[in-house]
Amino acid sequence: MNLRLLLQRLIHLIPVLFGVSVITFSILHLAPGDPVLLMVPAQATQEEVERVRHNLGLDQPLPVQYMSWIGNALRGDLGTSLFASQPVMDLVLERFPATVLLTAAALGFALLVGVSLGLVASLRRDTVLDRVTMVMSVMGWSMPPFWIGLMLIIFFAVQLRWLPTGGMFSLSAMKPTAPDVAKHLILPAFTLGVRHMCYVARLTRSSMLEVLGEDYVRTARSKGLKERVVVIRHALRNALIPVVTVAGVSVGRLLGGAVVVETVFGWPGLGRLTVTGILERDFPLVQGTILFAATTFVIVNFLVDLLYAWLDPRIRYT
């Protein structure tokens, strides 16, 4: 892909992000619910309510509020959280690494296990192994993540006491260590990733079955190549193209799913911060976190587009 085209595609991201900012801002401000009323004590008078509203700049017309917010956002300032009284950017950057870790672990798990299961199922088509894998994947896809999470906590943390119930590291540890964090990551990453893993398994299986019937696979076999080479180099690489597409979209789903999983497991990520912001009508916080997450999602999809070209020599951006 040449540089000019790369730039062109990057420029295309701008209207997308502008749309996200407008929608986020409007939905929040047009939704019923007044942060000032949630902030002041029950006995506050109307005058005090208005004073707080003025202090927070919430008495300005909406377009003025939007322009001021977007102008600052372009300079990297997402405003100040109404409740935490801290810069939103600081709060987001504090929480973002935890969400990235959780999402990456969940995605890694989903792809690794999902592709392996799908591959095995396709190669052992119509055997018991294939049936069991596919039934399990339907079940995994159908179970709500918060329920899976709670069941895992009850079984592995409360009954067996093998793993912690939540959090990102042991509270008593003064400094978090990698093994400690890894131990805390197992249950939330599994919970977040299990549905995607099931989906990837089914997708890999069907995609592989399709590819295995293609002429070039037959050609590869007739050349006398080893079955392993045929499957891995010739079939799987092509079968993975839809999986890669799904993985890109999955990042968005995982970021969304992280909201639930982070809440259940007390994982200190962006999702939990957003939920708190929504419940308290903390406009700058929610706008900031959503804009940030949307930007991440858009960039990931951009990178996935680039990855196609590498995976499939037929695709060339010109």
Partner 1 sequence: MNVQKKRLTRRDFLRYAGLAAGATALSACAAPTPVVVETEKVVEKAVPQTVVVEKAVPQTVVVEKEKVVTATPVPIKKDTPIIIATPTEDAGLFLPLTHVDFPGYFLNRALLCYDFKGGTYDVVPSLAKSYEVLDNGLRYRLHLRDDAYYHGGGKYEAEHSKWYIEMEMKDDHPYHHLAVRGQSRASNVDHVEAVDKTTLDIYLKAVFPAEPDWLTSWHEWAPHNPETIKKLEKEIANHPDGLGPYKLLEWQKGSRLILEKHDKYWDPNEGLASQLIFRPVTEVQARIAALEAGEIHWMGDVPVDEALRLATNPELRVAQQKTLWVWFIHFDTRKKPLDDVRVRQALNYAVDKETLIKDVLRGAAVRSYSPLSPQFGPYYAGNVVRHYDYDPQKAKDLLAEAGYPNGFDEIDGQPAILYGYSGRMGSGKPAPMLEFIQAQWKAVGVNVKIEMSDFASFEAKRQAGDFPMAMRGWTPSSADPDGVLSQNFHKNFLPPEGRNVCWLDDAEVNTLLDTAMSTIDMPKRIQAMLDAQKRIVDLAPWLFVMHEVAFEAYNAKLQDYVAWPGGRAAGMVYAWLKV
Is 22 a binder of partner 1 (CB under 8 A)? Answer: no
Given candidates 3, 158, 223, 318, which one binds partner 1 under the rule CB under 8 A?
158
Residue 177 is a binding residue for partner 1 (CB under 8 A): no
Binder to partner 1 among 19, 33, 71, 97 (CB under 8 A)?
Answer: 33
- In this chain, which stretch among 116-124, 166-174, 207-215, 308-316 interacts with partner 1, using CB under 8 A? 166-174
Nearer Cβ to partner 1, position 62 or 229?
62
Structure tokens at 200: 């990837």
Residue 172 within binding range of partner 1, rule CB under 8 A: yes
Question: What single letter denotes the amino acid at residue 232?
Answer: I
Output phi, psi for 289, to 5 deg: -65, -40
Member of 11, 30, 128, 171 binding partner 1 (CB under 8 A): 171
The number of helix segments (H) and strand segments (E) in the chain equals: 13, 0
Count of residues engaged in binding partner 1, rule: CB under 8 A = 56
d(CA 117, CA 119): 5
- Could you tell me which stretch among 28-36, 118-126, 135-143, 290-298 binds partner 1 (CB under 8 A)? 28-36
User: Following DSSP, what letter does each residue of 41-75 receive, concatenated?
Assistant: -TT--HHHHHHHHHHTTTTS-HHHHHHHHHHHHHT
Identify the residue among 13, 16, 44, 298 touching partner 1 (CB under 8 A).
Answer: 44
Beta carbons within 8 Å of 71's beta carbon, 6+ residues apart: none
DSSP 144-180: -HHHHHHHHIIIIIIIS--S-SSSSS-TT-SS--HHH
Least separation in angstroms between CB 292 and partner 1: 16
Half-sphere exposure of 61 (CA within 13 A, CB side): 3
Sequence letter at residue 19: G
Q: Of 40 and 134, which has the nearer Cβ to partner 1?
A: 40
In terms of CB distance, is 49 or 304 closer to partner 1? 49
Count CA atoms closer than 13 A to 49's CA, side-chain side: 11
- Judged by beta carbon, residue 42 or residue 74, the one nearer partner 1 is 42
CB atoms within 10 A of CB 175: 6
| 95 class by beta-carbon count within 10 Å (0-12 exposed, 13-18 middle, 19+ buried) | buried
Considering only residues 232 to 271 of the shown chain, the ones binding partner 1 according to CB under 8 A are: 263-266, 268-269
Q: Which of 21, 73, 95, 290 binds partner 1 (CB under 8 A)?
A: 95
Block residue for tokens 């249950």:
187
Residue number, 166 or 252, with CB nearest to partner 1: 166
Question: Interaction with partner 1 in 271-290: which residues (CB under 8 A)?
Answer: 272-273, 275-276, 279-281
Residue 140 within binding range of partner 1, rule CB under 8 A: no
Chain positions contacting partner 1, by CB under 8 A: 31-35, 37-46, 48, 51-52, 55-56, 83-86, 91, 94-95, 98, 146, 150, 153-154, 157-158, 161, 164-169, 171-172, 263-266, 268-269, 272-273, 275-276, 279-281
